[in-house]
A and B are shown apart, each in its own frame.
Chain A
Amino acid sequence: MMKYVVMQCTKGYAVLMDEESKFYFAANLNYEVGQTVTNPVILSDKYKDGKPVMTIIKTIVAAAACIGVISIPCYSYYNKNLKPCSTVTFASDTAISMTLNSSGKVLSIESDNEYGSKIIEKVNIKGKDNVEAANEILQAEISEGYISAGDTVEIYVEAKSDEKVEDIKSKLETELPKHDIKVNIHDEKKPSKREDKADKLPHEKPTAEITTAAAKAEKPVHTVKTKPVEKPVPPVKKEEPVETPTTPVVVPPADTPPVDTPPVDVPPVAVHPTDTPPLPFENETPHFEKNDDKEILPPHENGKENNKEKNEFGGVHTELTTMGGILPHEKK
């Protein structure tokens, strides 16, 4: 037990010195100077004004612990319930996109068009499971007439991990076919809006990308219809025969009645006289430069403007340039 020598006594306190040569203020329990005492009541720094460093450190550590205790559950709650984890997009007219959390609940729903907005107003799927939400959306779309029985709905699932995509995909594939529609679920991003828009003609009402398989098969191929040429075909300029005499090109007279020509897919035919070497340019493939605004037709070999013209329907009246040959119908 530490012994203290009483060095000084006053009314309020006594000054003691211990065996380690430390000096203390202590309560003067009727001490006398020179007395050796044990167990004194030593002055405490508990209520001292200046905060000791340890107190500040303790406060900081306690504050950090409190922040940790609060923030760690908050962060895990955020990760589990509020952090967007995956997206399910319906590639229909409505273009509805659902954002899901890690447990597959709907966080938000959005659409970039008015059709989608109508559906969103109609359904209340926030916080619901993605399968239930998808069912409600499809039900709403069916009731609104955006899709009908037998249609195929393309659904795109996007997530950070492949496992998540597979999980959502399998659930949707299992649950959604309850409706009379066929559902195709893709684990990839929906084609961009730009591409979508590019596919649509401007005057058309935005059509669904939901198409039945049959409709897809019967989907007409966009072809350019050609109308009968009403104008008389200008006579092909007679070319000077090259070196050897060739079979003469039969040029229809100027007053030849217009011929109803079907869409021609026949490539330009070059007829060469036998035993005649081809001209240097004949082996070259005709080069056509395409331009969205203006169709540039290949120039005539002798520098004149090509005789292809757009007709009044926007179709192209194709006049075959013969290289010393005869068109099949002209043979008649």
Chain B
Amino acid sequence: MKLKKILREYPLLLLFALVMGGLFLLDLCFTSNPYSELENRRLKQKPAFSLESLLENRYTKDYEGYINDQFVGRDRWITLKSVFESALGKTENNGVVYGADRYIYNKLLDPALGESRQNGAGFGGDGSDTPALPVVNSAQLGRNVNFLNTFAVTYPGHVTAAIAPNSYGIRPEGLPAGLPNVNQQAAIGELYRQFSGDNLSTLDLIAPLREAAGEMQVSYRTDHHWTTDGAWVGYRAYCESRSLPYVTLEELAPYRREEPGFLGTYYNKSKNFDALPDTLVWYDIPVEDVTIDGEHTVLQTDGSLVEVTGLYQREKFAVRDKYAAFLYGNNGLTVIKSGNSKAHREGEVSRVLVIKDSYGNCFAPFLTYSYDEVWVADLRNMTFKVSQVLAENQFDDVLILYNFDTFQEDRNFSRITY
């Protein structure tokens, strides 16, 4: 009787108590997650209390971070926010925009609109370094051009610089109307004019990718990388520029494998309910030997060692971050040896050094058909010096391969001069 009366007279009080009390109790009960696969970062854990950390205001800050990171149903709340954003008619969420044909694009505005105000904290992942204006970081871009030119002057051999366009750079017409995103064709053209060196040549990737986009999917709808086929288009353009023989997709057809259901990094940001998963393609190319930083094992984020048996960490194809399967993710120095090369000459070993961001990971396997040894270096996880690698080994070619979005903000590119 009494409950009925309360229900009738105080329904809001009851509802509110139920929702808040329920979430409060659930939040208290659930155990902590160590890692967020969606965010690619470790989640904050309950901080240990000490008087010192309290007085230094560290404890309260850490505690709030922990409450936020470990809130019950965190992932579902994020999805729910994305739904509300769509209901409000927004075509963007968490820094990515919804383009035509269900492509998700990076929002990176024209530098004429203002200055990038990213602070120097790096990709710390605590949300504090989100810039007010997602605009091309002209200052970092300028520094990176200088680093590249310095490298090209000091290294006597031939260098190819290739800046790959991102999905919105290949298909700017797919962007929402009016969005003042940077014009990558113009921006990359300008970069190429600034790159200098007698032995340096630049490689146009926009034209071949745009042309190929009519026949195949060259960028992912939900991820910031180019597709493996897109990478092949880049590979062909590179080989043509160096007058090297290259492997065709017809020849590779027997090795072609498809992994459907790939939702990439752009999806992780937007979490839009109507995202259309991509299919990730890889080619099971035979190789003789792959080492990472000289070893046949590679260290994982959780501290375990994984054996390196080929070009791909195959178990990653089954998890969310499928792209991490290529070359076992972004590692320092990967050396691939194979008998695939079409340019092989008896008694000689041809070598290429690729200095790359993650765009190089699905690209490098194709190079085994054009060089005997493919050396792949990632400046962001470097345990070596570029100058030392170049001094100790003879390379026929050096290829610097970055995508535009990474190149304009990467703070590790200076290491190319180390």
Partners in one complex: no
